[in-house]
A = this chain, B = another copy of it.
Amino acid sequence: MAYINENYNKLKAGYLFPEIARRVKAFTEANPDAAKRLIRCGIGDVTEALPEAVRSAMHKAVDEMGDRASFRGYGPEQGYDFLRNAVSENDFKARGIQIEADEIFISDGSKCDTGNILDIFGAGNKIAITDPVYPVYVDTNVMAGNTGDADENGAYAGLHYLKCTPANGFVPEIPSERVDLVYLCYPNNPTGAVATRAQLEAWVKYALANEAIILYDAAYEAFIRDPELPHSIFEIEGARDCAIEFRSFSKNGGFTGVRCGVVVIPKGLMGKKKDGTKQAIHPLWSRRHSTKFNGTAYIVQRGAEAIYSPEGKQQVTALIEHYMGNAALLVEACKKAGLSVYGGVNAPYVWVGCPSGLTSWQMFDKMLNEANVVITPGSGFGSAGEGYFRISAFNSRANVEEVCRRIAQL
């Protein structure tokens, strides 16, 4: 009989979002009338239509598949050049950042990438993770055997937690000891915080000094409105020697159900072998991508390319404006209600302190039962999230205005 990977048994029972779904289902079954006025601001999923430029490109690509002369079978595993070039030109070179097309890997989404990246790293790495954090970083390390068991607060032995609090603006202090891999995500999910250039410079300096690798999740960069804030870790000098960046079309182009992401690995980035000699990371990921992945759908890649067309850019800008307008309303409503509010200015998430004495899940239940609004309990993102909740700005304007009214009533 085959041995299973017992690391999976260390995982806590519920991934956050299934537990939310369970409570919402129980509520709607018990309160069918109230359920009709339920508004979901929990999971960070986009709600508005896919941009016309994207749909148009996808229709064209579907038609191409109908003619054997333009039919596309297996594509290059690393992605089609047209999309790798578009990412390189628009997301990097247009901002003065030297990232070449062959340093860009196209995937079916950032969740896969941030999980799969651990395949190319070995055992024995000291891994730092912010708290609160996107649960996938933690859970995939547990599955890979990089942790011990969880304690009563859900913290795993062997992970180095970087506390994010109002005191540090939810950007963690530089650790005093050495770590090998650091997960950073800015604009942040869940806190909506954004790292300044100076803060990222300090992290890059630390990584270079300690020969650490920063795993930088830039999935929400499109929501940055302050021109001083960096959109990519590669805006920071030295980052090419110490960082991998994850990017996504989910939140700018509305691709949560279309599935396309990007990993950027500079060619000079090095890891080390057990004997201490250095080895390049780029060929390892390239080999993984070639062996365990077979490319992202051609149709999807054509849709992603259209995001960079003039019409696509306009349409994405309009989407971002819409969601950030929602965020501004939510921030205002929570402030008026006397709550402590963070984020929501350069990020689509508003991070709110619970009213005195309430835990995150108590606040979740209160919002569900009394306001019929689904939020996300902060403690689901880690123990430092206790006492907070997250409201997502991904919704229609009418729904957000109604949520604001209900917050005021509550």
| Residues of chain A whose beta carbon lies under 8 Å from any beta carbon of chain B | 1-6, 8-9, 11, 15, 18, 43, 45-50, 52, 55, 58-59, 62-63, 65-68, 71-75, 108-109, 111-112, 115-116, 119-125, 136, 139-140, 143, 180-181, 211-213, 254, 256-259, 270-274, 278-279, 281, 284, 287-288, 290-300, 396
Contacts and interface: CB of A to CB of B under 8 A. Distances in A.
B66 A55 contact: yes
Contact of A6 (B59, B116, B273, B294): B273
A298 B258 contact: yes
Nearest to A273: B6
B291 A5 contact: no
B212 A111 contact: no
Given A8-B120, A48-B71, A49-B68, 13 more contacts: A2-B121, A4-B122, A4-B279, A8-B287, A47-B73, A58-B299, A73-B254, A108-B108, A115-B292, A257-B297, A258-B297, A258-B299, A297-B300
Give the top 3 A-B pairs by smallest Cβ distance, nearest first.
A1-B211, A115-B292, A3-B122
A1 B278 contact: yes
The winner among A3, A6, A121 for most chain B CB atoms within 10 A is A3
Contacts of A125: 2-3
A73 B17 CA distance: 15
For this chain, the copies found in one complex come to 2
11 contacts: A3-B271, A5-B120, A6-B274, A8-B288, A49-B65, A55-B63, A73-B256, A74-B257, A108-B294, A111-B292, A258-B297
A4 B271 contact: yes
Contacts of A270: 1
A122 B5 contact: yes
Given A291-B139, A297-B259, A2 B55 contact: no
A366 to B, nearest CB: 26
Contacts of A298: 257-258
Nearest to A126: B2
Contacts of A300: 297, 299-300
A71 B58 contact: no
A124 B4 CA distance: 10
A162 B48 CA distance: 53
A44 to B, nearest CB: 9
B48 A281 contact: no
Contacts of A273: 3-4, 6, 9
A134 B10 CA distance: 33
Nearest to A65: B50
Contacts of A3: 121-125, 180, 271-274
B55 A65 contact: yes
A211 B3 CA distance: 11
Given A58-B62, A295-B259, A4 B281 contact: yes
Given A68-B396, A71-B48, A72-B257, A293 B4 contact: no
Contacts of A66: 49-50, 52, 55
Nearest to A118: B5
A374 B67 CA distance: 23
The winner among A43, A55, A180 for most chain B CB atoms within 10 A is A55
Contacts of A6: 122, 273-274
A45 B74 contact: yes
Contacts of A287: 8, 11, 15
A291 B136 contact: yes
Nearest to A244: B2
A15 B65 contact: no
Nearest to A115: B292
A73 B255 CA distance: 7
Nearest to A284: B8
A49 B67 contact: yes
A258 B61 CA distance: 11
Contacts of A294: 108-109, 111-112, 256, 259
